[in-house]
Amino acid sequence: MQISTELAPSVARRSRRGLVVLSLGPLCALGGVVWALLQPYRITLLHPYGQGFWWLVSEPPIYVVLVGLAFHWLVAPGLVEDLEDSERSRSQP
Amino acid sequence: MILGSAFMPPSEHVHWWFATGFLVLALCFAARAVVGPAVWDRRPWRRYLFPSVVFVMGLLMWPVMVFFTNSTIHMVAHGSWAEMMMLAGGAQLGLAAGKLKSPLWNLTTPLALLVGGIAILVHEQNSWLYSRAAFGHHLIGWIAVGGALIPLVLTFRPRSVVTGVCFAALLVSISTVLYADRDTAPIFGHLAREAGVPHR
């Protein structure tokens, strides 16, 4: 009971930091989606006829979504794992 | 003004690619601020991640300097950004590898922002409301010059969460302005007649 009382605040703080890291990628991707909805003309793939090569390659809102997803899938999981490891080892005597 | 060809993209697209680079950096710095540098540096590939991105952005600025500048002052400005990004990225790579020991090498980051910001302000020949590109250049220049204070503080307080998050926000703001850049477009409904006709 005593251990649980002492650990409770640090566990709550840990999970908050982990959640923040895990939310960065989806938030970024969401920003890209919102941008695409607000300015659909920035995605030339939606109206591809008559567009040149570079205009079909350059899709800024999609870049933002891809950056968010790449961060979420490639960086965030390992980072949260390391964060939890670090805090677990700090909380153990 | 360069509108692009089959072999060369329009210059606004190059701005958007660099905006994406700044966005990657912003996410890395935001996460690093939240977990702390010790946890971020636990895996070697992660330690090298943002220094490599900065260094590669500096390298890629050289072809931009060669192919996308149409005056000496533009060329010098782009060259200075390339040098400053390579210096900051290289210093961070050296720190990550343990080849450089002094944390004062972190000062290369505020130096890069300050020099880069001054170069942007100096090379923009037109006034704020000439066009959207001119507005964006003035805005990024002042963001970089003023924002250089943030990595300066971060050099001496590397574990400060607030400063780290502020630095990430600074990078997001640079990225946003770069994404908003267009070769010929109005700003707040104003476009100088000499700027030409908006092509899209």
Q: Identify residue A82 by its one-letter amino acid code.
A: D
Domain span at residue A29 reads 22-91
pLDDT digits (tens, 9 = 90+) for B135-144: 999 999 999 9
Evaluate whether residue A7 is within a structural domain: no
Residue B72 in this model has a pLDDT that exceeds 90: yes
- Give the Cα separation of B60 and B66 in Å (integer): 10
Inform me whether the C-beta atom of residue A21 falls under 8 Å from chain B C-beta atoms: yes
pLDDT digits (tens, 9 = 90+) for B77-109: 999 999 999 999 999 999 999 999 999 999 999
Nearest chain B CA: its distance from A73 CA (Å): 13
Average pLDDT, chain B: 92
Please compute the mean of the pLDDT values over residues B17-40 and round it to a whole number: 97
Evaluate whether residue A81 is within a structural domain: yes
pLDDT digits (tens, 9 = 90+) for A39-65: 999 999 998 998 888 999 999 999 999
| Eight-class DSSP state of A46 | G
Q: Which of A24, A35, A42, A80 to mutate to test the interface with B (most CBs of B within 10 A)?
A: A24
pLDDT digits (tens, 9 = 90+) for A27-41: 999 999 999 999 999
- Give the Cα separation of B21 and A7 in Å (integer): 40
Please compute the mean of the pLDDT values over residues B157-170 and round it to a whole number: 97
Q: With cut-offs at 50, 70 and 90, classify the pLDDT of residue B200.
A: low
What's residue B141's pLDDT? Answer: 96
Tell if the CB–CB gap between A28 and B40 is shorter than 8 Å.
Answer: no
Evaluate whether residue A37 is within a structural domain: yes
Evaluate whether residue A63 is within a structural domain: yes
Evaluate whether residue A75 is within a structural domain: yes
Chain length of chain B: 200
pTM attached to this predicted model? 0.91
Token couple for B97: 């590898």
From the candidate CATH numbers 1.10.10, 3.30.310, 1.10.8, 1.25.40, the one assigned to the domain spanning B11-192 = 1.25.40
Residue A24 with chain B: CB contacts under 8 Å: 27, 30-31
Evaluate whether residue A5 is within a structural domain: no
- Please, what is the Cα angle at B30 between B84 and B177, to 5 degrees? 60
Evaluate whether residue A6 is within a structural domain: no
Q: How far is CA B97 from the centre of its chain?
A: 23
Tell if the CB–CB gap between A75 and B10 is shorter than 8 Å.
Answer: no
Number of domains in chain A: 1
Task: Kindly state the percentage of chain A with pLDDT values over 70.
Answer: 84
ipTM: 0.91
